[in-house]
Structure 1
Amino acid sequence: MKLESSAFSANGLIPSEYTCDGKNISPPLTWTEVPTGTQSLALIVDDPDAPRGTFVHWVVYNLPATLTELPAHVTTETDLSGGLQGKNDFRSLGYGGPCPPSGTHRYFFKLYALDQPLRLPAGASKAQVLATAEGHILASTELIGRYHRRS
């Protein structure tokens, strides 16, 4: 699979519009080469460079296998064709943009192709999604973006 964004290139800088310094909206994402047999997709966005360990910015799961993109500015009201959003480490549902306390951080956008939908309610955590997905991941890919707050 291949995951891309028209907002930033792989290992490129995430524009401030998609961070806490801007509109704090989710960036547009597109993907291709989803394997045959995929029944659902899951997306997890996290920051492994956070001071207290990996910080989760977005959890989305049960996206239909036929979906090939997420537009910019996905909110908790956005129709994801059955897809659900989980809880991030800001303790809210949906997307929470990059907001590093210092330095340049990496943000991993990880997409998983699964052989079944996950039996989880809305609001599941990253840990719950990954535990439930274990043994059902057909393929995965990632897109890394970076962000550094201006002082």
Structure 2
Amino acid sequence: SFALTMIDTDARDFVHWMLADIPASTTSIERGASDEVRAAGGKGTLSSEYDGKYFGPCPPGPDHHYVFTVYALDAPLDLEPGFTLDDLRDSLEGHILAQGSLTGLRSGPV
């Protein structure tokens, strides 16, 4: 399976999106698919805005770094709905086969 995180590292690891147990057969996530991915077998969680959906970047001021990380796992994770970033990090331990990250930069209103 796969897990995916989107974290704003300039805002104390503000969670914009997390998914776990994405089926291994998944090769892409379509735009606007936060609910559908969970329905297809993945588990979503609350963002730092307490919403179970993707929360796009909207920094209040200077540049913020948004880190998207995908983890390839050797097994599904035993996480309950509403899991936290710490829960995910603990569950990933010993199960990561590979991982990759992409960092995006976004500025707030000028």
- The aligned counterpart of 1:34 is none
**1:126 Cα deviation from its structure 2 partner:** 1.5
The answer to whether the Cα contact below 8 Å between 2:63 and 2:108 also exists between their aligned partners in 1 is yes
Coordinate RMSD, CA, aligned: 1.3
1:150 aligns with 2:103: no
Q: Which has the higher helix share?
A: 2
* TM-score, normalization by structure 2: 0.91
SS of the equivalent of 1:69 reads: coil
Q: Pairwise mapping of residues 66-105 of structure 1 onto structure 2 (< 5 A)?
A: 66-76=25-35, 78-80=36-38, 81-105=40-64
> 2:44 and 2:33 mapped to 1: Cα distance?
10
1:109 aligns with 2:68: yes
- Where in structure 1 are there 5+ consecutive unaligned residues? 1-39
The change in CA–CA distance for 1:43 and 1:79 in structure 2 (over 3 A counts) is: closer
- The aligned counterpart of 2:19 is 60
- The aligned counterpart of 2:6 is 45
Choose 1 or 2 for highest CA Rg: 1
- The aligned counterpart of 2:84 is 125
Query: How many matched pairs?
Result: 109
SS of the equivalent of 1:44 reads: strand
The answer to whether the Cα contact below 8 Å between 2:60 and 2:109 also exists between their aligned partners in 1 is no
**1:79 Cα deviation from its structure 2 partner:** 4.3
- Where in structure 2 are there 5+ consecutive unaligned residues? none
**1:112 Cα deviation from its structure 2 partner:** 0.3
The answer to whether the Cα contact below 8 Å between 2:29 and 2:37 also exists between their aligned partners in 1 is no
List structure 1 runs of 4+ shifted beyond 6 angstroms.
none
* TM-score, normalization by structure 1: 0.68
**1:62 Cα deviation from its structure 2 partner:** 0.2
The one-letter code matched in structure 2 to 1:112 is: Y
